[in-house]
Amino acid sequence: MTYLMRRLATFPLVLLGVSILVFVAIRMVPGDAITAMLGTEAGLLTPQQRQSLAAYFGIDQPWLVQYWRWLLGVFQGNLGISVTYGRPVLDVILERFPLTLELALMSMIIALAVGVPAGIFAATRNERPSDLGVRVIAMIGQSTPSFVLGLLIIYTLSAGFGVLPAMGAFVPLWQDPLRNLGQLILPALTLGFAFAASVTRISRSAMLDVLSDDYVRTARSKGASARSVIWRHALPNALIPVVTLSGIEFGYLLGGAVIVEQVFALPGLGRMVLDAILQRDYALVQGCVLFIAFNFMIINLLVDLAYVLLDPRIRLGEQ
């Protein structure tokens, strides 16, 4: 409990650091909301016109003043107003987040459901042709860029069969579950394929390590069945690196899978951050990055807690 409290206490400091970094970084990039909106036509503005637009976008004050105002808002639960959406940043993020969360969960389920059994299968058949086959497939999965796989799936379905799940207008799960799953299954497969490949490789190597440990040999010599040795004795220990990998990958996915969202035209968090950067929607970029960082910290904490469940020998927070 003390460990949990200590970890939670570090959250505000980390978030403060993240917010300063993002605030400065986005403003150091040349161009601003005015050039993002007007493009080269911004050159036609008179100084007074530019000043008026800067005031409209809230970028007419010195950086420190802008940051202070924003920070005060954050303490009051207000992440600012998005100039693109004309709405509170938090509302916009929470509107897009369910899609991203659902996509991340589906990809994770696909990856673990495929990757862990495949890794165990390969480890138990070490250096046999079937192990080699799994490793080759995993290598292909890891080295295939998600946009290639995504476009390949889209092309095959549309050109070969004339079908495609509805793109663009996303339907939330609670409105129409079947249509929602139809829209998300292909992007989830695309993301899950690469993720499953990583899980397979790490499960295999972790399982090989564990299978050569003394306690596994002891279990075997005591007459435990092969199935029991693998699933009861070896797997829980082999899962620790898988949990670590899954936590990191899941954290990334919660930040939005930009390329897959782009290819499948899903209005998720990743695409929104990308568009916000391109449109120099400072408040939205800052709000999103803060939100993503918060998610990452929560997941890291959950991963650490999961270690304790998997291996009772681990005591968090002890020197």
Give the footprint of other proteins on this chain (CB under 8 A).
29-32, 34-46, 48-50, 52-53, 56, 84-86, 151, 154-155, 157-159, 162-164, 166-170, 262-265, 267, 271-272, 275, 278-280
For the CB of residue 77, give the shortest distance to other proteins in the complex, in Å: 23
For the CB of residue 100, give the shortest distance to other proteins in the complex, in Å: 13
For the CB of residue 42, give the shortest distance to other proteins in the complex, in Å: 6
Identity of the residue, 23 or 264, whose beta carbon is nearer to other proteins in the bound complex: 264
Identity of the residue, 101 or 240, whose beta carbon is nearer to other proteins in the bound complex: 101
DSSP structural state of residue 42: G
Identity of the residue, 170 or 195, whose beta carbon is nearer to other proteins in the bound complex: 170
Nearest-angstrom CA–CA distance, 120 and 205: 9
Identity of the residue, 164 or 224, whose beta carbon is nearer to other proteins in the bound complex: 164
Rounded alpha-carbon distances, angstroms, from residue 114 to 100, 120, 192: 21, 10, 9
Nearest-angstrom CA–CA distance, 84 and 185: 29
Nearest-angstrom CA–CA distance, 184 and 262: 13
Residue 171 CA from chain centroid, whole number: 21
Backbone angle region of 121, left / alpha / beta, with phi > 0 → left and psi within -120 to 50 → alpha: alpha
For the CB of residue 41, give the shortest distance to other proteins in the complex, in Å: 4
Identity of the residue, 41 or 127, whose beta carbon is nearer to other proteins in the bound complex: 41
Nearest-angstrom CA–CA distance, 229 and 219: 7
Tokens representing 98 are 């369910």
Nearest-angstrom CA–CA distance, 141 and 212: 27
Identity of the residue, 1 or 159, whose beta carbon is nearer to other proteins in the bound complex: 159
Other CB atoms within 10 Å distance of the CB of residue 140: 13
For the CB of residue 304, give the shortest distance to other proteins in the complex, in Å: 36
Is the Cβ–Cβ distance between 292 and 250 less than 8 Å? Answer: no
Is the Cβ–Cβ distance between 188 and 107 less than 8 Å? Answer: yes
